[in-house]
Structure 1
């Protein structure tokens, strides 16, 4: 067991069952507390070299996790409830977060920072993020109009953007074409039942992030009834990798947001807008 980092300094040996907590602790300079990570972790890259991988997303190596003698295990969402139950029954302290909005992501980041005594560093990071986000909004105000955006989280069935992604679309300068579905916290409640409904909503930009497999824009463009969708007509179908936008933590707020903004800025620079004809005097 490692020696305490300082008086009342919080958990010393943390297992992170999802990537966003690992990335956040590294950003805070508290990576020495991490003793185990998810096998899906790619951010930061060095975490995979420095920390043992002890879990997938839905399950983990219980014996290996217990052997690490963690004083806290941190996971995410109801989807890890069964894994959390096993770890609790093994006698471990387990903390499960369930953030679904940008505000909840920031709140969770503050909470984790508080656990490790890094409140000041967290507030500095968040203030810098807010400043950069405000700068993106100022740029978008100069566009002729905001692009209409369809974000597809899965293809069969079609699942539209979760709340934080929908909000990031707005922060990046676009408008989600399914804002009503974004408010639903569960993926099954964000299924687009009518295959033609995304086409009817005429998105200018389509962004795919099919968690677990590569986005195939050519398959989307070939869907029956989608040929005249502005995004298809203008070849505005793009992928953002799930590790950059579907992790409810720093990656989505930074890389995910920046990638969305770049796509929308490029659209705004080349958008086909209706011609404005002067009226006769």
Structure 2
């Protein structure tokens, strides 16, 4: 068996990918936020959150490789590197980046053929959704809310999946900002002015509350509120830059958009 033998996954997407590739035996520790696949929570010790980790517990596992995601985990990575641990922090933010991540992770564990097959399968699923979406009679304007106080709009891969599913993200200029602080909306005026037809809420681990959203001052006349198009997309299936977003996440978004598009305008 080539590649690292004792891997700690600081976020969910490497765990889900390694299980999909049949390489879960290599995983010795996971993030406490991991929900996919469900069996991982039962089988693997939980040693990290997103912005913090139990460094001592990780070291006890004697990992030969630790996988994390983004600048937000830079401090965790630094602490582990200082202890002589090899760390890979991926920083992909696009749909193409997620597909490539699957291929790269597979190569790292000596499972390139399976990873390439899986990545191709994920891409075919997206292509099928895109083809169906291209036939829709109309496209909704979509506001994706990643957090409510302050309002944070969706990251790049989310905006791309919304477009692929047949909608138009109303803040495309913000989606390219990798840092959440650069996707904060100073007030609701821009949202209201862009009059979204559908609002998706995914409050990063906190339950989305459509009633609370509908009651915001000035929102009553928004098309999405008027028509009852306020929908939760659970964060584990859309806010992780891994397979879940490209499968279950985008399918949920597409189902809602396609139903909207088929209604009388």
| Fold conserved between structures, TM > 0.5 | yes
1:219 corresponds in structure 2 to 212
2:244 corresponds in structure 1 to 251
1:103 corresponds in structure 2 to 96
> Post-superposition shift, 1:130?
1.9
Q: Provide the aligned C-alpha RMSD in A.
A: 1.0
1:262 corresponds in structure 2 to 255
> Post-superposition shift, 1:137?
1.8
2:13 maps to 1:25: no
Residue pairs, 1:116-135, within 5 angstroms: 116-135=109-128
Residue pairs, 1:177-192, within 5 angstroms: 177-192=170-185
> Post-superposition shift, 1:61?
1.4
> Post-superposition shift, 1:222?
1.0
Residue pairs, 1:127-206, within 5 angstroms: 127-206=120-199
After the TM superposition, which segments of 4 or more aligned residues of structure 1 sit over 4 Å from their partners? none
TM-score (norm 2): 0.97
TM-score (norm 1): 0.92
1:67-116 CA-to-partner distances (Å, cap 9, x unmatched) read 11111001111111111111111221111111111111122221111101
1:236-281 CA-to-partner distances (Å, cap 9, x unmatched) read 00001110100000111111110100010111122x42xxxxxxxx
Q: Show structure 2 runs of 5+ residues with no match.
A: none
Q: Is the 8 A contact 2:103 2:112 kept in 1?
A: yes
1:161-181 CA-to-partner distances (Å, cap 9, x unmatched) read 100000010111111000000
1:11 corresponds in structure 2 to 4
Give the number of the structure whose alpha-carbon radius of gyration is greater. Answer: 1
- Kindly indicate whether structure 1 or structure 2 has the higher relative contact order, using CA contacts under 8 Å at least 6 residues apart: 2
- Tell me the distance in 2 between the aligned counterparts of 1:90 and 1:185: 29
Stretch deviating more after TM superposition (216-225 or 234-243): 216-225
> Post-superposition shift, 1:138?
2.0
Q: Is the 8 A contact 2:199 2:230 kept in 1?
A: yes
Q: Show structure 1 runs of 5+ residues with no match.
A: 274-281
Q: Matched residue pairs, number?
A: 265
